[in-house]
Amino acid sequence: MPKSPSDRAAGDPYGRVYDLAVIGAGCAGLAGAVTASERGLSVALLDTAGRIGGQFYRHPDPAFGAVRPEALHHDWSAFAGLRRRLEAGDVAHLAGHHVWTVERQDGADTPWTVHAITGADGDGEHPVRVQARTVLLATGAYERQLPFPGWTLPGVVGAAGAQAMLKAGLVLPGRRVVVAGSGPLLLAVAASLATAGARVPAVVEAAGYLGYARRPAVLAADPQKLAEAVVHGAALLGHGVRLRTRSAVTQVHGTDRVEAVTVSRVDRDWRPVRGTGRRIACDALAVGHGLVPQIELATSLGCATRRTKDGTHALALDAFQRTSVPGLWAAGETGGIGGAQLARVEGEIAGIAVAAQVRDGAAPARDGRVRELRRRRERMRAFAGAMAAVHAPGKGWAEWLDDATEVCRCEEVTVGAVREAVDAYGARDARTVKLLTRAGMGWCQGRTCGAAVACLAAGEGPLFLPPSPERRPLAGPVPLGVLGSLDPSEPSAAPAAPAGPAEQPDTDRPDGNSGPRD
Amino acid sequence: MARDRTPAELVGAAPEQAPFEITFDGRPITTLPGRSVAAALWSAGVLAWRTTRRGGRPRGAFCGIGHCYDCLATINGRPNRRACLVPARPGDTITTQEGHGHAEIAV
């Protein structure tokens, strides 16, 4: 399966013990992998995709023969640099590896075992495991979705999803695409779509951008982010795209696919203002409400988390990117949403720190490079915090729902059913709602509806509380045949019995509520 | 303003391999090499290739990165494949997945 540099890791990539296993080949993982490798460590780099780059540097398959892949990217040269270093070194790049759990054995010489299934969609032929002395989690983020009437119609796609499909597949969901939700990603998505030939009649942002103006010191501290915003803003103006702040899509129209959306003004708490709805014709809607750190692998190991200013949970990390679990590092979005540049900086810090740990059993010496990286990280983290505060979902969003709106797309659970669980049966958290309604129990395991269900369950209580610690043993669907074929005494890969495709996983287990909280 | 520009033109795509055909519910679709099944379908204006298990409602790609499982399709007779992740290959037969896609097993 792995094609690119991995094949040069001659022989069986699973039959050896690595100094470091990096999970995720986006900005953070790449930076961590090449840094550690250049410092003499043996490194395996696992990623679900066939090509490195993660979501930010997702790019077309070489089969397209694209001569200007950078046309859809910012800062492509930074990625090209990482790719060159990866190709020049001897990191074992294991593409098409879907990691479903990471095991730690206390006191063992090789404490870490990373379990993965292979294949483009993990439908692959056999389970594998990679053994390592240390692990760096760089699993990035996924998009937060808040439901609204009509959001399950074909043509409504995630904003990040539209971006991903465009960057990798060179396709658009429609010709006239409204971009909506909240967060800085919307501007980038709208700019990409417009540059690639779509008409974008409006960017609909629920927050007010004035929030940034109230934090001038933070803005001034990260001029590159400002420059990015200016670039996106200019691109949007050039394409005649209108930014509507303090507004939200409150209804999608169409029978079998999107024909139009209604955009309403919202107040400071994102409560729709009656009588302000305006219909905008479009054939697609790209929507998202910020990003959520993808930390299931870490929380199932018991890693401590912290609450971010927009109500998500990120890993609690120390100055050297260490998690609370010895031997486990994390970098990039897993430690809180902060963007590609921050991810590269943190990946490098982690690479340096892991190398020092493996070679000297100590924290790295505080040389000039580490000092510089940490200074940049602090600056960008401060900016990220301000951004999260500006775009934190307001409590009033739930008022744009009607009882027939589906919250859980997998199990087709409506707002009405969730409200019944809350009002009539006393559910107060996402887990209880799930047990009563199946919301969050389907294929995606609540990744898509989790934020919304938690919010509806909390009712008048504090927003996005409680964050069930999500202590799930499996981070993705695994065919039963794969589980059945695992032989604990046999460290290398064993072919799975021919199994059906990954069925609806029912990996629901008691959360234990003992996970570390902030 | 380059209103008619396509994404492929934007990045200067020049595939060595010729465009090829797949079928969707029997209808031929021509696509460029390098696309996922979902991208190939989008390029032909197809946005839905699954019906839900309860309501029978149409669905297609949503998250685009393999997380949401809304894009499940039956590919070459095998149901529950994530179309946004599986590369399209010449001659692929894509069919709308009805419900869980295992109707023939009749549980």
A 10 A CB-CB count for A392 gives 22
A48 and B CB contact within 8 Å: yes
The band of A498, judged by pLDDT with boundaries at 50, 70 and 90, is very low
Residue A9 scores a pLDDT above 50: no
Distance between CA atoms of residues B78 and B101, nearest Å: 8
Distance between CA atoms of residues A462 and A466, nearest Å: 8
Chain A stretch 228-257, residues whose beta carbon is closer than 8 A to a beta carbon of chain B: 238-240, 256-257
Chain B nearest CA to A108, separation (Å):
33
Nearest to A307 by CA among A137, A516, A23, A449: A516
Whether the ipTM is more than 0.90: the answer is yes
List, in order of start, the domains of chain A with CATH numbers: 5-142+292-364 (3.50.50.60), 145-289 (3.50.50.60)
Distance between CA atoms of residues A139 and A48, nearest Å: 10
Distance between CA atoms of residues A73 and A450, nearest Å: 30
Distance between CA atoms of residues A306 and A121, nearest Å: 31
**Given phi > 0 = left and psi -120 to 50 = alpha, else beta, which region is A96?**
left
> What pLDDT does residue A512 have?
32
> What pLDDT does residue A503 have?
32
Q: Name the 3-class secondary structure at A294.
A: coil
Q: Which of A165, A256, A287, A445 to mutate to test binding with chain B, by most B CBs within 10 Å of its CB? A: A165
Asked if A199 contacts A224 with a C-beta cutoff of 8 angstroms, the reply is: no
Mean pLDDT of B93-107: 83
**pLDDT: which is higher, A508 or A48:** A48
Mean pLDDT of A172-192: 96
Distance between CA atoms of residues A172 and A162, nearest Å: 7
A 10 A CB-CB count for A428 gives 15
> What pLDDT does residue A240 have?
85
- The per-residue pLDDT for range A234-259, each reduced to its tens digit, is 778 788 888 999 999 999 999 999 99
> What pLDDT does residue A493 have?
40
Q: Name the 3-class secondary structure at B32.
A: coil
- The per-residue pLDDT for range A330-378, each reduced to its tens digit, is 999 999 999 999 999 999 999 999 999 999 998 898 889 999 999 999 9
Residue A507 scores a pLDDT above 50: no
Chain A nearest CA to B45, separation (Å):
8
- The per-residue pLDDT for range A139-161, each reduced to its tens digit, is 999 999 999 999 999 999 999 99
* DSSP 8-class letter at A230: H
A504 CB neighbours in chain B (<8 A) are 100
What DSSP element (H or E) covers B101? none
B64 CB neighbours in chain A (<8 A) are 157-158, 160-165
